[in-house]
Amino acid sequence: MTLIYKLIMKSGPEAEKVYKLEKDEFVIGRELINDLIISDPEVSRKHARLFKKNEQYYVEDLNSTNGTYHAGKQITRPILLKSGDLIDLGKSVVLEFVAEEVGGISEMESGPEQAPEKQEGTKEIKKTSLKRNLKKSKQPKPELEPAESAEPVKEPVRGGKLQNLPSWVKVLLIVLLFLIVFCVIPLLIIEWTNQWCNLFGAFFNQIQPGVCP
């Protein structure tokens, strides 16, 4: 069992403030060198001190001007403190002495006791997962419906339109193709190369003399 000691200011300039007693000697007063500094005119520069003896705290007055009181009585010698005792510094500052027990089971100690519960929980989870997998495997698989027979795709007949044309149209197309290949194209070549006079100069001069040199 461990005890934590502290002072709680019940009345004074910093009411309800908590001061931990972490030293064997704790001096209270207005001076800045004190362990507990209380800026109050009723408090002397070095007013009182708390000291530890045989694992217990005592309070002692340090010849203060306005006196130190314990349980309403002015003290003239060290007084043993108990948890809940009130210490008056003059008429305006009241401090409460508190001793709290600190105990309990640590997390390391409680760990092994909780381990079996966790193991049982994991076993139950594994069992339920196995049952679910077995149920899924037993379920009948849906039968696949046979695919509908696809109709054969008819390939387009190449040249079908030409075969459907009448014979006279076919003859006309052949004649036009002949004229383009053997008449129009040669004339275009002669025009582009300007060979009219070289090829047909005598003919043009008979029609119109002097056209071709």
Residue 71 lies in a domain: yes
- Looking at 76, 102, 128, the residue that finishes a domain is 102
**Torsion sign over Cα 14, 99, 83, 76:** negative
Residue 178 lies in a domain: yes
What whole-number percentage of the chain has pLDDT above 90?
44
Euclidean distance between the first and final Cα of the chain, in Å? 139
- Looking at 102, 125, 144, the residue that finishes a domain is 102
pLDDT digits (tens, 9 = 90+) for 47-94: 999 999 999 999 999 999 999 999 999 999 999 999 999 999 999 999
CATH number for the domain harbouring residue 51: 2.60.200.20
Lay out the sheet containing 93-102: strands in order across: 18-20, 2-11, 93-102, 86-89, 68-70, 73-74
Task: Find the range with the poorest average confidence among 82-86, 133-137, 202-206.
Answer: 133-137
- Please give the full DSSP string across 87-107, using - where no structure is assigned: EEETTTEEEEEEEEEE----H
- Looking at 57, 81, 102, the residue that finishes a domain is 102
| pTM for the model | 0.48
- Position 159 scores a pLDDT of 54
Q: 45 or 176: whose pLDDT is higher?
A: 45
pLDDT digits (tens, 9 = 90+) for 3-33: 899 999 999 999 999 999 989 999 999 999 9
Domain that holds residue 190: 167-207
| Cβ-Cβ contacts under 8 Å for 50 (sequence gap 6 or more) | 7, 21, 25, 26, 28, 57, 58, 59, 60, 81, 97
Residue 158 lies in a domain: no
Backbone angles phi, psi at 152, to 5 degrees: -65, 135
